[in-house]
Amino acid sequence: MMERSKAIETLEARVRETPLRERLEQSGERIGAMCSERRGPRMCIPVAHTDDDFFISTTLRDAVATIDQLQATLAAREARIKELAGLCRQAGERIAELSRAQRAERGVGG
C-alpha cells in the first residue's frame, strides 16, 4: 500500500508541474470534451498523470486547498486591519487629548 501511495504522490507532482490556473482551464476543457463526446473520463490501468479523472480530481483538490489558504490569509488580514483601525482610533483620541491639555497649559480656550 505504501508503494501505491508513493506512486500517487509522484503522479500528483507530475500534474502539479502545470500551474493551477492552467490546470483549471484544462479541466474545464476535458469536462467539455467528455460531455460533447458523450463519454466518461479517459483512464489507464495503472493510473497515469494524464488520466482525465486523476488530472481533474488532483486539480480540484489543489484549487480547494488554495481557496482555503487564501480565505484563511484574508481572514487573518481582515482581523489585523480591524486591530490596526482600533489602534489608530486610540492614537487619534490620545493626540486630541494631548492637544487639549497643551492648549489648556498655554491658556488657550478649548
Give me 90's grid cell.
486610540
pLDDT score at 44: 83
Give me 101's grid cell.
491639555
pLDDT score at 71: 96
pLDDT score at 3: 65
pLDDT tens digit string along 78-98? 999 999 999 999 999 999 999
pLDDT score at 55: 93
Q: Identify whether the C-beta of residue 100 lies closer than 8 Å to the C-beta of residue 110.
A: yes
Domain positions in the chain: 2-106
pLDDT tens digit string along 14-62? 999 999 999 999 999 999 999 999 998 888 888 889 899 999 999 999 9
SS3 sequence of the chain: CHHHHHHHHHHHHHHCCCCHHHHHHHHHHHHHHHHHCCCCCCCCCCCCCCCHHHHHHHHHHHHHHHHHHHHHHHHHHHHHHHHHHHHHHHHHHHHHHHHHHHHHHHCCCC
pLDDT score at 95: 97
> 44: Cβ–Cβ under 8 A, 6 or more apart, which residues?
50, 51
Give me 47's grid cell.
493510473
Using a cut of 0.75, tell me whether the model's pTM lies above it.
no
pLDDT score at 59: 95
